[in-house]
Chains A and B, each alone.
Chain A
Amino acid sequence: MSTLIQPPRAVTTAPRKRAKGREVWEETPTWFGQFGKGTVLTVVCALVVVPVWAVVLTSLSTKGSINGAGGLVLVPHGLSLQNYQLIFSGGTVSQALYVSLFVTLIGTALSMIVSVLCAYGLSRPHSFGQRPLLLMMIVTMFFNGGLIPTFLVVSDLKLYGSLWAMILPSMVNVFNILIIRSFFQNTAAEMIEAARLDGANEWRLLWSVVIPTSRPVLAVMTMFYAVTYWGTFFNALLYEPDSRKWPLAMVIYEYTYSGNQMPGMGTTGIGGLQNASQLGLQMCVVSLSLVPIIVLTPFVQKHFAKGMLTGAIKG
């Protein structure tokens, strides 16, 4: 291997062509290995992409093309928005969408405010009571009262049947707080010092120095909270007996997965059910809760690893 002793620059002119990014000392992969890896990774991606594609496509298909496919539509054929028109014309799904939006927007905002404040409050070195407070938070990660006592407490707090029952009990995620905290701890001490000399108090420091320098982790955490609220199911199941307060996930469970007839569907004038396929409508609801996630994740994706790891591994 004479290439080994040559300086890296010489490699570009070397007769054997190397893939960009491959180290000089690395063997070129075998044809078989490349092919195998490519196949496996393609299949893995397809396992995610195809179902999502089929669901969204079916929601956009006409009754004719859904019947023609005998189920989920995999190849586009006759697209229309009529399923969505029908769903948005009022009734269960629109109501659920409002509930989900309310829970997600208000919940995420409150969660972030509370988490960021708490994370900062515990992030300054040697602050008063830091260790016992941290311990108090960490204990809840390993031990909790369990389902029934939590249910009883939430009911005793008169939250049963209220939209807040989907927000308050899950508003604080200790793991997320610890991740934010460890990010805050790494804010350059010099910047904080400089701001403090300029007369900034803790609130000002948090707002003007720490938050602006921690945008990536805050973006990731906002997304984590938002996704959790958007998919809220179990708290709704526990605390919301009234179907008008159900979020999207409950509606999907009840009418798409369990296949019960949706009340108030198709009675609102536009065409009625006979022009729409039940499956198409069901896939509409599923798509409604999928699409925001698919649209938003790529924006935050590059921060995932950073956000997760600073908290989880390094500690």
Chain B
Amino acid sequence: MSVSTAPPRSRPGSRFRPGSRFPGSRSRSNSRPGTRLSWRIRLRRDKSLLLMTIPALLLLVLFNYLPMAGIIVAFEHYDIYQGLIHSDFVGLDEFRQLVANPDFWHAFENTLVISFVQLILYFPIPIALALMVNTVLSPRIRGFIQAVVYLPHFFSYVLVITIFQEFLGGAGVLNVFLNKHGISSWNVMTDPHTFKYLVTAQAVWKEAGWGLIVFLAALAAIDQSLYEAAAVDGAGRWRRMRHITMPGLRGIVVLMLVLRLGNALSVGFEQMLIQRQAVGAGAADVLDTYSYIYGIGGGFGSATTMGADYSYGAAAGLFKAVLSLILILGANRLAHAFGEDGLYRK
């Protein structure tokens, strides 16, 4: 994910060196001699390139940067009729209400618990799968397995949850089976106690296969001659795994962990929202849904709706966003401490 822009360095004293103009970068076209031209000339030269970026940037400004400016609602008592600019400014009032609300802390706790369960139960699965799939020799079988396990990644959560419902829900395959054999039924889909495992199971079903891709690629990138050399030296398959495969996967595992930690506060928003009515707010409320339900609410799970309080919801959202940013930067720091690249290079 780290994005390199091949840093252009104008080197004083070496203005006219034919051939290797930019050491370390691949050969450049003669008509783009780097940054030594004045900005006017470069602007004129690149105006069609800039023109191309305009539609995307315009959309980003509209739907990403304007909302960032709109964060100001979190510091106001937003009034629909007065709009963003004329609403009363109340400073940290909404945040004071937020931290005083036990429901908010409950949602916070839920977020952390579910995140933790997902980290422990979800994270190792794609790695283990990748190690197994990697040893399948027949390319056709391997391709088939990949095609099958990738599939659920492309299903939306509504679909995934509906499929789970048909299998584990009150009238689902599991309970039809249980009833037939005289065992009391168990509606997994509405059980708040096991909800965190249910959510994790859904996430695993949907994404574990997709998670394979990166690990398979990392495995393929390991120098195969290392294995051969180790085998010649008498290392068995387990020792090769321990001393070649594991170190080879280290970088990508750390990167994935960093991403996971950075997203620790965003656990399955859609999942929670969809299943909130079935299992109850106590089990399903996380920071994201909290912000949504309190902020917009209307029309969703109307029995428990608090009514639209944009400012309060935005305050909850901002709280989460800031914490997430801190988490992702912290996780990245951690990756650097382990000598890995993390999201960006040091």
Contact = CB atoms under 8 A, between A and B. Distances in A.
The list of the 3 closest CB pairs from A to B, nearest first, reads A145-B67, A231-B156, A149-B70
A125 B28 contact: yes
Interface in A176-210: 177-178, 182, 189, 192-193, 196, 201-203, 206
Interface of A: 4, 19-23, 25-27, 29, 37, 40-41, 44-45, 47-49, 51-52, 54-55, 70-72, 74, 113-115, 117-118, 120-122, 124-131, 133-134, 136-138, 140, 142-154, 156-157, 168-169, 171-172, 174-175, 177-178, 182, 189, 192-193, 196, 201-203, 206, 227, 230-234, 237-238, 241, 249-250, 252-253, 256-258, 283, 286, 289-290, 293-294, 297-298, 301-302, 304-305, 308-309, 311-313, 315
A114 B52 CA distance: 8
A304 B213 contact: yes
13 contacts: A45-B144, A48-B152, A71-B176, A117-B56, A121-B50, A125-B6, A126-B28, A127-B50, A156-B84, A171-B59, A174-B60, A178-B3, A231-B155
Interface string B162-181: 11011100011100100010
A234 B162 contact: no
Size category of the binding interface on chain B:
35 or more
B34 interface: yes
Contact of A233 (B4, B157, B166, B318): B157
Contact of A54 (B46, B73, B166, B176): B166
A51 B149 contact: no
A313 B214 contact: yes
Interface of B is mostly: helix
Given A125-B6, A140-B64, A196-B29, A45 B270 contact: no
B173 A257 contact: no
B296 A312 contact: no
A252 B135 contact: no
B237 interface: yes
A27 B237 contact: yes
Given A157-B62, A257-B165, A252 B5 contact: no
A48 B45 contact: no
B15 to A, nearest CB: 16
A189 B25 CA distance: 12
A150 B161 CA distance: 26
A153 B70 contact: yes
